[in-house]
Amino acid sequence: MARICLHGFVSGRVQRVWYRGATSKEARARNVTGWAHNLPDGRVEVLLCGEEDDVRAVEAWLHRGPPAARVDHVEIEEVAWRDIVGFRTG
């Protein structure tokens, strides 16, 4: 199985709706490492690294988010592998 990292931005109503925390929960459930943090412009920036199937599953979840969120757009690109421990929000 291949390991990949995806970097991206999520826009819509994604701040103050527990989007980062829920992303962390989804990622950790699939052993995906990386981070999610709020940007000043209202988007959430994410990095997801792990086994491709697991990372792609979390990527698909990003398009839905938690119940209180409204995801308008997800922009994702594959980036070079990064050996990251855990998943953090901030």
- What would the pLDDT profile of 49-71 be if each residue is shown by its tens digit? 999 999 999 999 999 999 999 99
Q: What is the DSSP string of 33-46?
A: EEEEEE-TTS-EEE
> What pLDDT sits at residue 90?
82
Reported as a pLDDT band with limits 50, 70 and 90, residue 83 is very high
| Tally of helices (H runs) and strands (E runs) in the chain | 2, 5
What are the residues whose beta carbons fall under 8 Å from the beta carbon of 2, sequence distance 6 or more? 51, 52
Residues annotated as catalytic (active site), given as ranges = 20, 38
> What pLDDT sits at residue 23?
98
Q: Which residues pair with 78 in a beta bridge?
A: 6
d(CA 46, CA 34) in angstroms, rounded, equals: 7
Q: Residue 73 pLDDT more than 90?
A: yes
Reported as a pLDDT band with limits 50, 70 and 90, residue 1 is confident
pTM metric for this prediction: 0.95
> What pLDDT sits at residue 7?
98
